[in-house]
Amino acid sequence: YSYVATEALNRQSKSYQELRQNAANYYAENAVAPKLEEILNKMFYEQPNDVYGRLSEYFEEFALTPNIVKISANKVMDGVGAGGLQCSVFAEVKNQPKVLSSLSMSLEKEISMLPLQQQHTTERGCMHISESISSKLNNVSLLQQTEVDLMLRDWIDDAEYDKFIGANQPTEEDDGHSRTPTPSSGRKKKTSSGKAKVGKVPEKPVPPKEPMEDRLKGCTAASAVSVAVLKAAANFLQKSGIAQQNVDNTVTMPTPAMVVLSGGKSAPGKLHMLKNVFAIAKPGLTISESISNLIKVYQNVGKGLSAKSVNFDKIKQISASGGYEPSYDKPEQPLDAILEAINTSGLVPGQDIFLGIECSAHEIFDYDKGKYEISTGTLKTADEFIDLLKDLVMRYPSLIMIIDPLRREDREQWTKLCEMVSEKCFIIGSDVIYGSMHSLNDNMLSARKSSGLVISTGSRVTCSDLARVVGDIRARECVTIMTSPVGDVCDDIFSDLAVGLGATFVRFGAPSRGENTSKINRFIEIERIINESKTSKINYLSKFEFPVIKPPPPAPVSDEENEIPAENSSPDQKKKK
């Protein structure tokens, strides 16, 4: 009996010694004892009031980088009551799963690029996040934004390849609007004498509507997850979204712009060609000064409209972007209204405040008649339309930006407009013109020259896509303007992205809706944070630099082309030869 008891005690002692040795090895591998000794020595001299808070702060420096463990998705409403997508990022922090960010995104950008029968995308976006993206990003480091975006890019490319490649997709939608009628330019009608009528020039053929780009239904999931991961990483590191984008020590603030008036085909009045008219701040001012001037103009436009129309004051028409929606018949009317408000504000048009217009020309093109319906009953060809825009730029020197002036199919007229006005006015294209920034490349930018590009989140665009496109545009010495999609929600990460990406301009909606004011307030706060920072300094755009687009020089004429054929040459020329 004593022998058995002794053996049991020996085994227990051996097991205990092994346990002690394992514990010692474990703490030695993680250097716990030296670190504990170091902080205890420091605290003896520091004498902090919160002992355990100081210990926690010290050991947090050695905590492991959190990995993504789950991404959840829910259906929510966006800023106009339509379907939106909310995603939450869970990461393992201090050995426990924790929600580090929750972000909502409107699906308006994706929906606008899809056929009508495919526009119920919210449920599909939630399914993509919960079933595919969450498992794909499981155990990926939260702080590796580039790796996350690359995996999202691979996912969307693979999903779209499986869905569209090999399927017999029609090149044009058979909906009665896919084929653009071509005005007759062939054989001329003859008079009774058998001769063609003189004086009427045949119209040019209208380029037919190009098919929509194939996009995965619910692809906004990729953009929402990308931005949510960026936000989660910033929250974990207790940094702003700007710092998480690894910006330089010198931060150049985008010049702010603000929607003042809205229109389009759905607005009251006959005028269709101006979807948004926005005010642009003077370069060189602080953000606080710029925003203050823009708000003054917006408020004085409202006062002016109320003074001129009793009905407007009662109805107070406001668009989804927050701009006033009065009834206008001519393009000069909204421009004159804002110029009047600028003067009322004690500012000078073309010096303190500038103007920009967004045409969204693809929305006003009448495919049955092959012309732009700039106002009710008034139709213009592409050549006539660019003449009208050129006239506005010449008559309004403060008009320095036009967004989407033509359809993407009217390439010839787009180039002509750039050559006519690019010395004094930015001609900007959105993804409606260039296609998704997810697949935008250098060849596509070279094929259509412009002053710059509109950038925004949404659809399948990741943060890395935005950074790449902004870099490409900057390399071309062109400009970028970051805009918030209509219906976007109250999430101020938009302002952090605009500053961190280095956009030339940032356009906010009017300060009459919560989702707009939250972004504007954050933009002002970013300026204050940078000014108070000891490691970064702030810079402002000193002046507008217009990328001048000139027509290509004529091809040189060879000596052989200059040589006159012998049979056509005069006797003197023959003698000289």
93-130 pLDDT, tens per residue? Answer: 988 899 999 998 888 777 666 654 444 678 888 889 98
Structural domain spans, the chain: 2-60, 68-162, 249-540
- Position 201 pLDDT exceeds 80: no
Q: Count CB atoms within 10 A of the CB of residue 335.
A: 22
pLDDT of residue 9: 64
pLDDT digits (tens, 9 = 90+) for 465-479: 999 999 999 999 999
- Position 197 pLDDT exceeds 70: no
Question: Domain 249-540 belongs to what topology?
Answer: TIM Barrel (3.20.20)
Q: pLDDT > 90: what percent of the chain?
A: 50
Report residue 171's pLDDT band, with 50, 70 and 90 as the boundaries.
very low
Span 271-294, mean pLDDT? Answer: 96
pLDDT digits (tens, 9 = 90+) for 297-340: 999 999 998 887 755 554 467 888 889 999 899 999 999 999 99
All residues at 6 or more sequence positions from 314 whose CB lies less than 8 Å from its CB, including other chains: none
- Position 430 pLDDT exceeds 50: yes
Looking at per-residue pLDDT, the higher value among 186 and 44 belongs to 44
Report how far residue 219's alpha carbon sits from residue 35's, in angstroms, rounded to the nearest whole number: 47
Looking at per-residue pLDDT, the higher value among 160 and 423 belongs to 423
| pTM for the whole structure | 0.83
Report how far residue 161's alpha carbon sits from residue 166's, in angstroms, rounded to the nearest whole number: 9
Per the prediction, the chain carries an average pLDDT of: 83
Q: Crossing angle of helices 493-501/514-532, nearest 10°? A: 50
Report how far residue 209's alpha carbon sits from residue 223's, in angstroms, rounded to the nearest whole number: 28
Report how far residue 518's alpha carbon sits from residue 511's, in angstroms, rounded to the nearest whole number: 9
Report how far residue 329's alpha carbon sits from residue 302's, in angstroms, rounded to the nearest whole number: 18
pLDDT of residue 114: 60
Span 335-352, mean pLDDT? Answer: 96
Per the CB < 8 A criterion, the answer to whether 494 and 521 are in contact is: no
Looking at per-residue pLDDT, the higher value among 462 and 458 belongs to 462
List of E strands, 274-382? 276-281, 353-358, 365-366, 371-375, 378-380
Per the CB < 8 A criterion, the answer to whether 489 and 516 are in contact is: no
In 3D space, the residue among 399, 388, 390 whose CA is nearest the CA of residue 421 turns out to be 390
- Position 220 pLDDT exceeds 90: no
Q: pLDDT > 70: what percent of the chain?
A: 82
Tell me the Ramachandran region of residue 424: left when phi exceeds 0, alpha when psi lies from -120 to 50, beta otherwise.
Answer: alpha
DSSP state of 297: H
Per the CB < 8 A criterion, the answer to whether 126 and 261 are in contact is: no
- Position 188 pLDDT exceeds 60: no
- Position 83 pLDDT exceeds 90: no
Per the CB < 8 A criterion, the answer to whether 30 and 64 are in contact is: no
The secondary element (H helix, E strand) that includes residue 521 is: helix 514-532
Span 211-238, mean pLDDT? Answer: 87
